[in-house]
């Protein structure tokens, strides 16, 4: 029996200092045994100055820094609405990019897959610390911070069609490289064109199931096709921008008469001097992240050229999470200028939205939702535009990294993945254990709840064949 929106929606009534209710989209299976800490974060976000409608949490929700991961909150800029770095996260504009590869799974045997994974592991820098595909000068870095993926494509790494399938066409025009501090720039210079570690990855997949044939065709996906999915963000540059901004805002809040129930929710009015500076630095970090994924996508094409004799990997989409964006939405019957925080949540524009390119207008925006190394990645499409047109960003952690390391033996995990037919290229055994499938929620249940709630709908399911991890 199909579930309704009411079946997967929980409301925490506005009480105490909460200006709006908390609304959680989740089935019982997706909530922890004791959700008190999680619910407390949802309630805390509901106290932010200028917040409208609700403090939302997506089905992949889990406890994060200040905001829950999976948290969505919009503040009214004209009515003292704030911006909070904790509502964006440290990996600014972390995102997911999928490319359709020039081969079918039936055409690739085990030896060819292993060769492709070797080529990818060699071509794409991965792991923590420095090392990237690019060695930008200060001027080059400034251009990337200002122009994002546009700068990379203009220099010949990619094609114009890549930008058509990238959120914001790969560039946020409000970015100001001058607001990115020296320490952040230093970290960024050393890491441009790299995956990083943690939950970031490069995965080769096969389109195992198509649920919405019309949307899949528009997106460029067909059953049996190979795909590559890249998950990474702004590396140390974005982390440093967030760290710097939290310090500034903690010191500045008192000047605006702002108090918060958790210091991790440090915030200032969007239109304050500190707010404008953070947004400009955040957008520059987002441009860096999109340039980063563009460079990695070109390395994927190079690896395909070695393995298949063809570089014709076609962009499906590049979508972001961990952002605060100025958007127009109708609240209480009036269109307002809002600052929409999506921390571990993804924009999901519905069909017909004016911001969609013409080729996607009939089906909605693609959303890419990775699971874990041994489970599926889903490609979704925006549905009804609920929660300021937002949806989930992944499976969501079930266990912390520390818990995963204690419970999961890396050698047993690697052996199990090999038995499933998943080729693994990882630099760190402990890092591999941290990202084991058992450490994550059931991604199929997560996307099913999104569909029941009207946040997004399922288009295609991609099964992993190989993964590169830091």
Which residues form the catalytic set?
A: 393
Distance CA 78, CA 334 (A): 13
Angle between the 235-252 and 273-308 helix axes, to the nearest 10 degrees?
170
* Bridge-based pairing state of the strands 82-83 and 423-426: unpaired
Residues of 231-256 as b/e, b for ≥16 C-beta within 10 angstroms? bbbbbbbbbbbbebbbebbbebbeeb
DSSP assignments along 367-410, one per residue: EEE---TTS-EEEEEE-S-HHHHEEE-SS-BSS-HHHHHHH--H
Backbone angles phi, psi at 329, to 5 degrees: -140, 155
Q: How far is CA 167 from the centre of its chain?
A: 11
Q: What angle do CA 204, 207, 212 make, to 5 degrees?
A: 140
**Residue 361 CB partners (closer than 8 Å, separation 6+):** 351, 352, 353
Q: From the CA atom positions of the chain, what is the Rg in Å? A: 21
From the list 313, 158, 427, the residue with the least C-alpha distance to 435 is: 427
Distance CA 440, CA 213 (A): 28
CB neighbourhood size of 157 (10 A): 21
**Residue 16 CB partners (closer than 8 Å, separation 6+):** 43, 47
Largest CA distance in the chain: 64
Angle between the 273-308 and 110-123 helix axes, to the nearest 10 degrees?
140
Q: Which residue has the tokens 């069909």?
A: 351
Length of the chain: 470
DSSP assignments along 350-367, one per residue: PTT-TTS-GGGTTT--EE
From first CA to last CA, the distance across the chain in angstroms is 41
């Amino acid at each position: 029996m199909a579930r309704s929106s009411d079946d997967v929606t929980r409301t925490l009534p506005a009480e105490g200092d909460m200006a709006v209710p908390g609304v959680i989209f989740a089935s019982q299976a997706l909530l922890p045994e004791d959700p008190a800490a999680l619910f407390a974060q949802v309630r805390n976000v509901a106290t932010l100055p200028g917040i409208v409608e609700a403090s939302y949490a997506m089905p992949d929700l889990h406890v994060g820094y200040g905001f829950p991961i999976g948290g969505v909150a919009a503040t009214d800029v004209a009515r003292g609405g704030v911006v909070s770095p904790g509502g964006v996260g440290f990996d600014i504009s972390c995102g997911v990019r999928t490319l359709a590869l020039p081969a079918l799974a039936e055409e690739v045997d085990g030896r060819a897959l292993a060769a492709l994974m070797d080529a990818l592991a060699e071509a794409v820098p991965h792991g923590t610390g420095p090392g990237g595909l690019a060695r930008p000068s200060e001027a080059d870095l400034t251009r990337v911070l200002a122009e994002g993926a546009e700068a990379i494509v203009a220099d010949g790494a990619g094609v114009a069609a890549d930008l058509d399938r990238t959120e914001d066409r790969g560039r946020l025009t409000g970015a100001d490289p001058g607001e990115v501090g020296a320490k952040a720039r230093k970290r960024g210079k050393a890491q441009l064109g790299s995956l990083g570690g943690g939950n970031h990855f490069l995965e080769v997949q096969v389109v195992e199931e198509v649920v919405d044939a019309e949307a899949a065709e528009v997106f460029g996906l067909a059953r049996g096709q190979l795909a590559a999915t890249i998950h990474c963000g702004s590396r140390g540059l974005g982390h440093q921008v967030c760290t710097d901004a939290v310090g500034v805002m903690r010191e500045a809040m008192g000047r605006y008469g702002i108090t918060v129930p958790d210091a991790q929710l440090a915030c200032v009015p969007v239109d304050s001097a500190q707010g404008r500076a953070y947004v400009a630095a955040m957008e520059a970090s987002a441009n860096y992240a999109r340039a980063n994924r563009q460079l990695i996508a070109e390395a994927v094409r190079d690896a395909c050229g070695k393995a298949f004799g063809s570089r014709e990997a076609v962009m499906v989409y590049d979508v972001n999470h961990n952002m605060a964006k100025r958007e127009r939405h109708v609240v209480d019957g009036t269109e307002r200028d809002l600052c929409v925080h999506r921390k571990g949540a993804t924009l999901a524009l519905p069909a017909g939205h004016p911001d969609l390119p013409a080729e996607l207008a009939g089906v909605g925006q693609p959303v890419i939702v990775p699971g874990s190394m041994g489970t599926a990645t889903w490609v979704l499409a925006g549905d009804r535009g609920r929660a300021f047109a937002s949806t989930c960003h992944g499976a969501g952690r079930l266990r912390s990294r520390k818990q995963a390391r204690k419970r999961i033996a890396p050698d047993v995990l690697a052996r199990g993945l090999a038995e499933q037919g998943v080729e693994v290229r990882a630099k760190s055994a402990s890092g591999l254990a941290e990202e084991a499938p058992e450490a994550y929620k059931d991604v199929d249940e997560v996307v099913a709840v999104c569909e029941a709630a009207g946040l997004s709908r399922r288009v295609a399911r991609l099964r992993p064949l190989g993964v590169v991890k830091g």
